[in-house]
Chain A
Amino acid sequence: MPRKSQLQITMEDVGIEIDGQVDSDSEDDGPKSGKRRQADKSASGRNNRNNSRAATRVRNGRRGKNMDSEEDEDEDEEEEEEKAPRQRRANRKKVAKYEDSEEDSEDDQPKKKANKKGNNKAEKEEQNTKAKQSDKNGKGKNKNKDDGGEKKKKKKNDSSSSASDSNSSDEESLSEGEMAKLMEEVEEKKKLISNMRNKPWRMKRRLHALREAQAFVEKFEGALGKGKGRKFYAYKVMMTKKWIKFKRDFENFKTACIPWEMKIKEVESHFGSSVASYFIFLRWMYGMNLVLFGLTFGLVVIPEILMGLPYGSIARKTVPRDEQDTAMDFSTLWDFNGYAKYSVLFYGYYNNQRTIGFLKYRLPLAYFMVGIGTFGYSLMVVIQTMAKNADETGGDGEDNDFNFCWKMFTSWDYLIGNSETADNKFASITTSFKESIVDEEENQKDENIHLRRFLRVLANVLILCGLGGSGYLIYFVVKRSQKFATMDDLGWYEKNEVEIVMSLLGLVCPPLFESIAELEDYHPRIALKWQLGRIFALFLGNLYTFLFALIDEVNQKLEEEENIKNMTAIALNLYYANVTLNGTEATPPPIDPADVIRGPCWETTVGIEFVKLTVSDIQVTYITILVGDFLRAVIVRFLNYCWCWDLEAGFPSYGEFDISGNVLGLIFNQGMIWMGAFYAPGLVGINVLRLLTSMYYQSWAVMSSNVPHERVFKASKSNNFYMGLLLLILFLSLLPVVYTIMTLPPSFDCGPFSGKPRMFEVIMETIKLDFPAFVGKLFSYAANPGLIIPAVLLMVLAIYYLNAVSKSYMNSNMELKKKMQMQRDEEKNRRNNKSTTNSVLKDLEDLLPINSGAVNHTTAASNQQPNGGDQTKPMKGGNRNGTSVRQEKEVSLSAQNPRIAVTRPPGPRPPGPLPGNPRLAVPGQPGRGPPPRAGGGRGQPRH
């Protein structure tokens, strides 16, 4: 115990070392007795003044204030004059003790450690001191003889501080009290270690305690600068710091590695988070496609290029003779015919050899597995992302409790860094407030429901007509294109009719739907969903019509192929018959691979269709952006100088970024990729290129020629909606591919599965030839319908069960929510009631029933016209029971028609209590001075 107390004392000593030191400096003669001190202070004014000056300096140093002017100092001096004695008195005790050891204090370890706090201040003070020393020198002579001594001490102090500063920077955060506590604990642990033997504990516990204590001592003894742990501790601290710095750098590096982060941030700051969400979605898509690209190219395309038979070796890898003249023409290549058709980009190029190259790489198997794996991976990623999103959004779901509160406290988007966007945000906040008011109103009244219903039905009928019409148009065009396919010398239009019509439909229909949807007069959020759903239906209809037409074509090709197959078989038989007649052994007929009769290879045809569709989609998208956004912006911008009306504000204006259209376009493009990837492995590569370029192109376009939205819908909410659409598309594109794989026979003379009755036979073959027999047996058992049907049943049951469970959870969730709501209301009511049952008021009400009504009335009135000047605080508790409040609100909320579109940003705000208007200080103007101060509202602390 004595030890401990002593420790404490030393620590306290040094904690205020500077104070003590300075104090003692002013009276440098020997032993200090309290009495003398007292006398000193009270009696000698001059001395006192000097003392306080020293104290002042210390205090100032501690505050970290800059005092370079003499006036400052003087002022402070006056201030501190009264405080100084108190401080000194407090220091007295310690000074006495401290004085003895001061001379050799620099080497004194514990002191130095504990010093740190003081030293830190001392360091700061150093500057001050030095600056002042000069003027001190000037004045000092006639002031006090002690000054010289003081300076000397100061210097010593400084040097000691700088000496110990090197290894002390980390414990600055420890206060003296904590230090003392720590020390105490360390001592305790040490004691514990030394008498561990005597404790009546079990060995296990003893060991545990010992280890704990040792670790503690090791950790903190160093911190206190004692024992052997000090150097090690310093080293450890250094390493920790380095490690932290490294981690931070690494974190930085990781952030820098996120592609396009800055680009997206820039877009976000100009257009708000909803537009940015599109780009984030695009980036996500790019990431997913990159993996698909890696799979396809790494496992299929590259091995084929490296190890497969070269071009021209067999028929399927050679351009037929009659096409060879035009095979290298650009127009042919652009249609993905000629050399493009007979390349690794398409299904037909791959050979049905079981293994290729010296690695015995099983290419057909790899091809099949990659085709399936593409879907598997995509499904997994999409569902995973959806689940994650659901988790995130599950936290803050739609909650109507704090509708206005949230609008009030969370509506400003702090990421906006552009004044135009800020204006738009003003407008949108205003709109959202108005919307809420409208919602409130609509909760109460419902006018002319029949007209609205009629309009909605009408709109839906119109849109259904539009959808049907577009579906028929596509069907018609596809049929026509099949007719064209049999004809020769077709123009460019006839060749590309399907793609052109589909792209045009995609261009025309969405705006049409949008204008029809205005009839319905839905809430914009709901309207957006409807709009998304309709465009989705349109695209989907188009896609499926296209698919059915394609399947028709495939069936035709299959018949055609059958004929050719028979023909080649006959030819071969004939040849072999001849060869055997001649008496030599059977060799393949010596025909040049370019001359071999070959089937139509429907797989490649399908692949080419999808690639063409994708490419034309890219073209249309890019040209639309170029014309619809960029050119429009250029025209609006430069023709505005010589036009009759204001083009920028008036009719054409600048384009807005069409989030829903772009997202849907992206989703459908992805669907096309999924469908086509099996028959055209190169499609994935094309898509990766497309996403990559569209990232740069669209972010350029959006920054250069679009204006921010007037109405911003929440991005995070609809994100899962997009993901849902993506999942749906994934499923829908999975269907035709699986159908073709499972039911259609592959072409006999092209592709990795040629010669097999069905494509999936490649798996059977592998199992039969490459696995031990029992695996094949197992597989055949597993494929037994007797096993599959129960398995399917089991899965259905599991789904049913999980569904039921989730439903019950949801129900209980709702119940809990309701309960919470009820509790809240109850509490509120109780409180309100309590305040109304204020006895005095009740008495008053009892006495003056008419008056209370009058009071009620006046409050309502004052609520209705709160002019900024003389708002009296609403009466506390007074007559505010729940119902009256509600009525008030309803009255005032529906008082005015708020349905005015916000067309202008907030005008200049009146000076006074409002801050300076940001509009006045346009950030675009370079080198502006400080923004104008509006009546001192800005810049003055407000309290």
Chain B
Amino acid sequence: MSSSTNKRCRQPKPDEMTGFRTKISNREDFQRIPELAINPLGDRIINAFFSDGEDQVNFRAFMRTLAHFRPIEDNEKGKDPSSSEPLNSRNNKLLFAFRLYDLDKDDKISREELLQVLRMMVGVNISDEQLGSIADRTIQEADQDGDSAISFPEFVKVLEKVDVEQKMSIRFLH
């Protein structure tokens, strides 16, 4: 999610696409996408496609996940406020990102989770002590309520200056 956060978990090729209708996709199918294979967080992204305990994903669920990345349109048809928030709202986009880091789904990013992500990102190039101190530092920066973990509101606060609406959007038709 750096300079360009566009998550490009690249669209499956057309044959995969139609493949969805007949068979149901599993993790190996996702891992065959090269962009995901080289992404250190690819695993987490793939996980995001699978709901609890499921080992497969059908086309509908796949689309539901990808819907997070739909660009937000200005007019958004003036949806009446009573209707539920669309999947591609800023909040939901952030929530999606948050869940990439929240490994144990307790709505908090703990130090251990940060460490795991860090190891995915930097490999073995930085010693464990330093990784630990980086994680501590990160939490110290973001933590507001002193529970030494990053909750979703804190996460939102950290990224409040990032143009998530634009960066976490993909034009699928392309």
Residues of A within 8 A of B (CB): 64, 66, 248, 251-252, 255, 268-269, 272-273, 395-396, 399, 401-419, 422, 426-427, 429-430, 433-434, 437, 714-716, 824, 827-828, 831-832, 834-835, 863-868, 871, 873-874, 876-877, 880, 885, 888-889, 892-893, 895-896, 898, 902, 904-907, 909, 913-916, 918, 921, 923, 930-931, 937-939, 941-943
Shortest Cβ distance from A390 into chain B, in angstroms? 15
16 pairs of residues in contact across A and B, judged by CB atoms under 8 Å: A251-B171, A402-B142, A404-B137, A405-B141, A405-B142, A426-B125, A864-B132, A874-B136, A877-B147, A889-B137, A893-B130, A893-B133, A906-B125, A907-B124, A915-B120, A941-B52
Residue from A66, A407, A913, A915 with most neighbouring chain B CB atoms (10 Å): A915
Q: What residues of A have a CB within 8 angstroms of the CB of B60 in the complex?
A: 64
| Given pairs A399-B161, A873-B111, A874-B111, 16 additional interface contacts (CB within 8 A) | A255-B174, A408-B114, A409-B158, A411-B121, A412-B41, A414-B2, A415-B8, A433-B126, A715-B3, A867-B128, A892-B130, A892-B133, A906-B125, A915-B42, A939-B31, A941-B53
- Give the chain B neighbours of A873 by CB distance below 8 A: 110-112, 148
Taken residue by residue from 159 to 174, chain B's Cβ proximity to chain A (1 for < 8 Å, 0 otherwise) reads as 1011100000001011
Contact of B3 among A716, A871, A880, A923 (CB under 8 A): A716
Contact of B87 with A by CB under 8 A? no
- The interface residues of chain A lying within 8 Å CB-to-CB of B24 are 66
Chain B residue, CB-CB nearest to A890: B133
How many Å lie between the Cα of A909 and that of B116 in the bound state? Answer: 12
Given contacts A866-B115, A918-B40, are A943 and B104 in contact (CB under 8 A)? Answer: yes
Residues of B near A863 (CB, < 8 A) are 132-133, 136
Our pick among B5, B58, B136 for the contact of A410 (Cβ within 8 Å) is: B5
Q: B8–A273 contact, CB under 8 A?
A: no
Q: Report yes or no: B159 in contact with A409, Cβ–Cβ below 8 A.
A: yes
- Chain B residues numbered 25-71 whose CB sits less than 8 Å from any CB in chain A: 27-28, 31-32, 34-35, 37-43, 47, 50, 52-55, 58, 60
CB nearest neighbor in A for B34: A923
Known: A405-B138, A716-B3, A907-B123. A868 touches B128 (CB 8 A): yes
Partner of A404, one of B3, B47, B134, B148: B134
A719, chain B: closest CB distance, angstroms:
11
Q: Is B105 an interface residue (CB 8 A)?
A: yes
Partner of A909, one of B28, B52, B104, B123: B123
Give the CA-CA distance A921 to B117 in the complex, in Å.
20
Q: A410-B2, A914-B120, A921-B37 are in contact. Are A251 and B148 (CB under 8 A)?
A: no
Rounded to whole Å, the gap between the CB of B170 and the closest CB of chain A is 10
**Is the pair A414, B7 in contact by a Cβ cutoff of 8 Å?**
yes
Q: How far is the CB of A870 from chain B (nearest CB, A)?
A: 11
Chain B residues, CB < 8 A from A273:
3-4
Task: Across the interface, name the chain A residue whose C-beta is closest to B60.
Answer: A64
Please list the 5 inter-chain residue pairs (A to B) with the smallest Cβ-Cβ separation, ordered nearest first: A906-B123, A923-B34, A866-B132, A930-B28, A422-B38
Cα distance A941–B46 in the bound complex, in angstroms: 10
Kindly state the separation between the CA atoms of A904 and B125 in the bound complex, as whole angstroms. 9
Say yes or no: A413 contacts B122, CB within 8 Å.
no
Q: Which of A396, A409, A898 contacts B130 (CB 8 A)?
A: A898
Closest A residue to B163 using CB positions: A395
Q: Are B1 and A918 in contact (CB under 8 A)?
A: no
Cβ distance A517 to chain B, nearest Cβ, rounded Å: 25
Complex contact A918–B125 (CB within 8 A) = no
Instruction: List chain B residues, Cβ under 8 A from A406.
Output: 158, 162
Contact between chains at B123 and A414 (CB < 8 Å): no
| Given contacts A426-B122, A434-B126, A898-B126, A408 and B38 within 8 Å (CB-CB) | no
Contacts of B159 in A (CB 8 A): 409-410
Q: Hey, which chain B residues are within 8 Å of A414, CB to CB?
A: 1-2, 4-8, 39
Alpha-carbon distance A603/B127, docked complex (angstroms): 67
Shortest beta-carbon distance, A878 to chain B, in Å?
10
- In Å, the complex CA distance between A714 and B4 comes to 10
Q: Is B101 an interface residue (CB 8 A)?
A: yes
Q: A876-B148, A895-B129 are in contact. Are A417 and B116 (CB under 8 A)?
A: no
B72 within 8 A of A: no
A832 touches B146 (CB 8 A): yes
Interchain CA distance A714-B3 in the complex, whole Å: 7
Q: A404-B138, A893-B133 are in contact. Are A943 and B39 (CB under 8 A)?
A: no
Asked whether B173 lies within 8 Å of A426 as measured between CB atoms, the reply is no
Q: Name B81-97 residues within 8 Å CB distance of A.
A: 97
Contact indicator B140/A885 (Cβ below 8 Å): yes
State how many angstroms separate the Cβ of A176 from the closest Cβ of chain B: 15
Contacts of A885 in B (CB 8 A): 136, 140
- Pairwise interchain contact A416-B119, C-beta atoms closer than 8 A: no
Question: Which residues of chain B come closer than 8 Å to A395, judged between CB atoms?
Answer: 161, 163
A433 & B134 in contact (Cβ 8 Å cutoff): yes
Chain B residues contacting A868 (CB-CB under 8 Å) are 115, 128
Given contacts A395-B161, A410-B162, A918-B37, contact A426 B123 (CB under 8 A): yes
B123 touches A396 (CB 8 A): no
Shortest Cβ distance from residue B128 to the other chain A in the assembled complex, whole angstroms: 6
Is the C-beta of B144 less than 8 angstroms from some C-beta in chain A?
yes
Query: Given A865-B128, A892-B132, is A941 in contact with B142 using a C-beta cutoff of 8 Å?
Result: no
**Given A416-B35, A419-B38: A248 and B140 interface contact (C-beta under 8 Å):** no
Of all chain B residues, the one with the shortest Cβ separation from A403 is B141
Contacts of A252 in B (CB 8 A): 173-174
Decide if A909 touches B119 in the complex (CB within 8 Å): yes
Q: In chain A, what residue has the closest Cβ to B157?
A: A402
Which residues of A are found within 8 Å of B173, using beta-carbon distances? 248, 251-252, 255
A430 to B163, Cβ gap below 8 A? no
B74 is an interface residue with CB less than 8 A from chain A: no
Q: Determine the chain A residues whose CB is within 8 A of the CB of B140 once the complex forms.
A: 885, 889
Q: Give bound CA distance, A924 to B36, whole Å.
A: 14
Q: For the complex, give the distance between the alpha carbons of A864 and B122 in Å.
A: 18
Asked whether A828 lies within 8 Å of B144 as measured between CB atoms, the reply is yes
Closest beta carbon of chain A to B113's beta carbon, Å: 11
Provided the pairs A396-B161, A892-B129 are in contact, do residues A906 and B122 lie with their beta carbons within 8 angstroms? yes
- Residues of chain A lying within 8 A (CB to CB) of residue B3: 272-273, 413, 714-716
Judge whether B145 is part of the interface by a CB distance below 8 angstroms.
yes
> Which residues of chain B have C-beta atoms less than 8 A from A418's C-beta?
38
Q: Does A412 lie within 8 Å of B2, measured CB to CB?
A: yes
CB distance from A597 to the nearest CB of B (A): 63
Distance in Å from the Cβ of B61 to the closest Cβ of chain A?
A: 10
Asked whether B121 lies within 8 Å of A426 as measured between CB atoms, the reply is yes
